[in-house]
């Protein structure tokens, strides 16, 4: 394990000044959307802001100590901050996580260009600069990303459901976009918080004919997804019920971005009330959002290139996690994915996105 990084304030050295100027120049030359500063200790934040002028600056760090004074509620300059808690991870993993979280918190668009400033050779000294195109960088969804969704539900089931959701979001049905909601795991409790909306098309079929690992069942799910309501899927991947109205209680400590309606609030609420994971496909745009514990933990954008489940080799424990290339990855028009873990203090931009409370959403959705 790496030693904890020092948190004594860093001097604004001529080298740091030089890197800030270089980052600003690079950002201007490439019309970058933001500059991400990976801080390892507090800094003269006012000077940092001065160095970047009106350019959008995000500050990421592993601990609150390292961000001391950088928040807008600290009488500091008020940067958007991202808390990582990945002290012993290699710098490129921390950068990736910072970018993913910035997308999750809507501080960055998934297709943004970002100049990053960080320390890679000399701990605590800013000595490196990169220009990152998020489309390319976040397009590789790793098994490790999914492992961050801590759950008892087998990864195979989660991956199969996400693959299916991504297909539904991309393809729609008969040329029309469709949205849907799939609630996975903790199905007994979820059933208690649901009621049929009418005809349940999977009722009466034996469990062996309702497994989402079966291509025919996946086709059936795509067909049924046009109907109102949610699918309830057990942890082992059996479609337990379809066209269900989820009646999970509204929770006051859920916040979602403005624009997300009843389907997404339902996903947040059912995952707050149970151990389930919910996968929502938006009918407007095909974005897939994965919810756990009442919040979005993964967002997959309907981008142009293939989504790949990349084999990931852990640098920490030597574990080699096999991600079989899915059938999806071989299809020519597949989407790319970006990953989200919402555990950061939400920044200014996210707040500016005027988050709504459940009651507002219910009103928006007409009930």
Ligand X SMILES: Nc1ncnc2c1ncn2[C@@H]1O[C@H](COP(=O)(O)OP(=O)(O)OP(=O)(O)O)[C@@H](O)[C@H]1O
Query: Which among 136, 128, 118 has a CA at the least distance from the CA of 5?
Result: 118
Sorted by sequence, the CB contacts under 8 Å of residue 340 that are 6+ apart come out as 100, 101, 103, 104, 296, 297, 298, 299
Tokens of 167: 């297909």
CB of 198 to ligand X, least distance (A): 12
Identity of the residue, 225 or 303, whose beta carbon is nearer to ligand X in the bound complex: 225
Vertex 283 angle, CA 280 and 287, to 5°: 55
- C-alpha dihedral, 76 to 78 to 79 to 80, nearest 10°: 130
Binding pattern to ligand X, positions 161-190, x when CB under 6 A?
A: ------------------x-x---------
Identity of the residue, 34 or 230, whose beta carbon is nearer to ligand X in the bound complex: 230
264 scored as a contact of ligand X (CB under 6 A): yes
Binding pattern to ligand X, positions 206-235, x when CB under 6 A?
A: ----------------------xxx-----
365 scored as a contact of ligand X (CB under 6 A): yes
Contact residue for ligand X among 47, 148, 245, 357 (CB under 6 A): 245
DSSP three-state, residue 77? coil
Site residues for ligand X, 281-340, by CB under 6 A, read 282-284
CB of 67 to ligand X, least distance (A): 33
d(CA 23, CA 281): 37
CB of 284 to ligand X, least distance (A): 5
Identity of the residue, 264 or 299, whose beta carbon is nearer to ligand X in the bound complex: 264
Vertex 178 angle, CA 173 and 183, to 5°: 115
Tokens of 55: 């350019």
Tokens of 209: 């004919």
Q: Which residue has the tokens 């000294």?
A: 125
d(CA 16, CA 51): 10
Contact residue for ligand X among 238, 266, 271, 344 (CB under 6 A): 266
Contact residue for ligand X among 220, 261, 302, 347 (CB under 6 A): 261
Site residues for ligand X, 131-150, by CB under 6 A, read none
Identity of the residue, 20 or 260, whose beta carbon is nearer to ligand X in the bound complex: 260
Nearest residue to ligand X, by Cβ distance, number only:
261
CB of 247 to ligand X, least distance (A): 7
Identity of the residue, 204 or 367, whose beta carbon is nearer to ligand X in the bound complex: 367
d(CA 203, CA 219): 17
Residue numbers of the site for ligand X (CB under 6 A)? 179, 181, 228-230, 245-246, 260-264, 266, 282-284, 365
């Amino acid at each position: 394990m790496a030693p904890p990084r020092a948190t004594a304030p860093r001097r604004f050295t001529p080298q740091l000044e030089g890197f800030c100027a270089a980052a600003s120049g690079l950002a201007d030359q490439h019309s970058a959307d933001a500059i991400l500063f990976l801080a390892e200790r507090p800094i003269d934040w006012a000077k940092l802001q001065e160095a970047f002028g009106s350019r959008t600056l995000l500050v990421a760090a592993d601990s609150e100590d390292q961000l001391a004074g950088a928040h807008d509620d600290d009488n500091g300059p008020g940067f958007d901050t991202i808390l990582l808690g990945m002290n012993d991870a290699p710098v490129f993993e921390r950068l990736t996580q910072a970018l993913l979280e910035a997308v999750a918190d809507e501080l960055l668009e998934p297709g943004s260009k970002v100049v990053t400033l960080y320390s890679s050779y000399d701990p605590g000294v800013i000595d490196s600069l990169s220009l990152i195109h998020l489309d390319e960088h976040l397009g590789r969804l790793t098994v490790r990303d999914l492992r961050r969704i801590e759950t008892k539900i087998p990864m195979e089931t989660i991956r199969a459901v996400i693959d299916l959701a991504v297909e539904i979001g991309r393809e729609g049905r008969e040329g029309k976009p469709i949205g849907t909601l799939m609630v996975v795991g903790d199905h007994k409790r979820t059933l208690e918080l649901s009621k049929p909306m009418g005809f349940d098309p999977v009722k009466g079929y034996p469990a062996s004919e309702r497994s989402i690992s079966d291509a025919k069942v996946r086709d059936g799910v795509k067909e049924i997804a046009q109907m109102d309501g949610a699918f309830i899927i057990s942890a082992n991947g059996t479609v337990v019920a379809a066209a269900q109205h989820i009646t999970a209680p509204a929770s006051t400590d859920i916040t979602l971005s403005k624009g997300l309606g009843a389907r997404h609030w339902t996903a947040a609420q059912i995952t707050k009330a149970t151990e389930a994971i919910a996968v929502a496909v938006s009918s407007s745009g095909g974005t897939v959002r994965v919810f756990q514990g009442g919040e979005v933990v993964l967002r997959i954008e309907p981008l142009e290139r293939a989504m790949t489940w990349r084999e990931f080799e852990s640098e920490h424990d030597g574990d080699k996690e096999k991600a079989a290339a899915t059938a999806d990855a071989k299809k020519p028009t597949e989407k790319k994915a970006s990953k989200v873990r919402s555990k950061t203090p939400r920044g200014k931009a996210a707040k500016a996105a005027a988050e709504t409370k459940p009651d507002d959403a219910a009103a928006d959705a007409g009930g």
